[in-house]
Amino acid sequence: MNAIGAARSFRKHLRIFGCYYRLNLASALEYRASFAIQAFGMALSNSSFIFFWWIAFRQVGGSIAGYSFEDVLFIWAASSGGFGLSTILFANASNLSNLIITGELDAFLLQPCSVLMNLICAKTSLYAYGDAMYGIILMALFYAGDSAAWLWFGYGVLLFAAIYAAITLTAHTLTFYMGDAGSIGALASQFSLNFSIYPESIYGPAVRALMYSLIPAAIAVHVPLKLFRELLHPAAALSALGGAIAYCAAACAFFYRGLRRYESGNVIVTKM
């Protein structure tokens, strides 16, 4: 494919992506009370964790595992914002195992666009808006006038959204190879969140290696924090971005390789 063809394909997929987002948002807003309650409830639930962190820092004073209270707020904001964005845009990635097992994946194979894009963008989550809002509120409360903090926060949110979706997709793709991997997918998603919302230095070397390789959630939150606090060389930001892109590309390739093993369930599904 030449450069012009690639550009046209990219624009086509971008338009379809935008259509999915608008349709999912319109669907969510159809029940506005439910949408508002779930979003607000998730933001309120997350706030309770910050309260416990505040208590912990008051008890120990200073820092915990080399992280200050403000550092913890930053990684919580980036994780919540990234998780929210990922689940708003790519919520259906966590449903892949069920689609494969039930045969409902058939409906996505006939769509006139990328199978993977149609699959992961076909569903959104109401409570995810609460997570995204929570991350922004944290930044507004504690880093309101710090432009550098907002820059690295935005960088971390985008990286986390992409990496979290790729981790979820990769784990659920195992269903093509070993049967229902729904529980593995849920664990991988939970691990990626746990790795991102706690100071990385509390983990041992083996776990930290996992956090930057197989489940690289740390790239999206701990690296931006270091770039903000320690003023690392900009090459570190480019390296993290390159690593995230490579991981996402590998997740896509793994999915399409697994898709070759899929056997139709012969289920008639109407997809609007």
What is the per-residue pLDDT across 107-158, written as a single tens digit (0 to 9) for each?
Answer: 888 876 788 888 998 888 877 888 888 899 889 989 988 999 999 999 999 9
74 compared with 54, residue with greater pLDDT: 74
Q: Which residues contact 249 (CB under 8 A, 6 or more apart)?
A: none
Q: Is 270 a member of any domain?
A: no
Residue 257 has pLDDT above 70, yes or no: yes
Q: Is 193 a member of any domain?
A: yes
Q: Is 235 a member of any domain?
A: yes
Q: Which residues contact 66 (CB under 8 A, 6 or more apart)?
A: 199, 201
- What is the band of 165 on the pLDDT scale with cuts at 50, 70, 90? very high
Number of domains forming the structure of the chain: 1
Which tokens sit at 62? 């200073």
Q: Is 217 a member of any domain?
A: yes
pTM of the model: 0.86
- What is the band of 267 on the pLDDT scale with cuts at 50, 70, 90? low
Q: Is 272 a member of any domain?
A: no
26-35, 91-100, 201-210: range with lowest mean pLDDT: 26-35
Residue 67 phi/psi, 5-degree rounding, is -105, 135
Percent of the chain with pLDDT over 90: 37
Averaged confidence pLDDT in the chain: 84
The tens digit of pLDDT for each residue in 11-46 reads: 766 777 777 777 766 766 666 666 566 666 666 666
Q: Is 185 a member of any domain?
A: yes
The tens digit of pLDDT for each residue in 1-10 reads: 555 665 666 6
Q: Is 265 a member of any domain?
A: no
Residue 160 has pLDDT above 90, yes or no: yes
234 compared with 168, residue with greater pLDDT: 168
Q: Is 37 a member of any domain?
A: yes
Domain containing 55: what range? 3-259
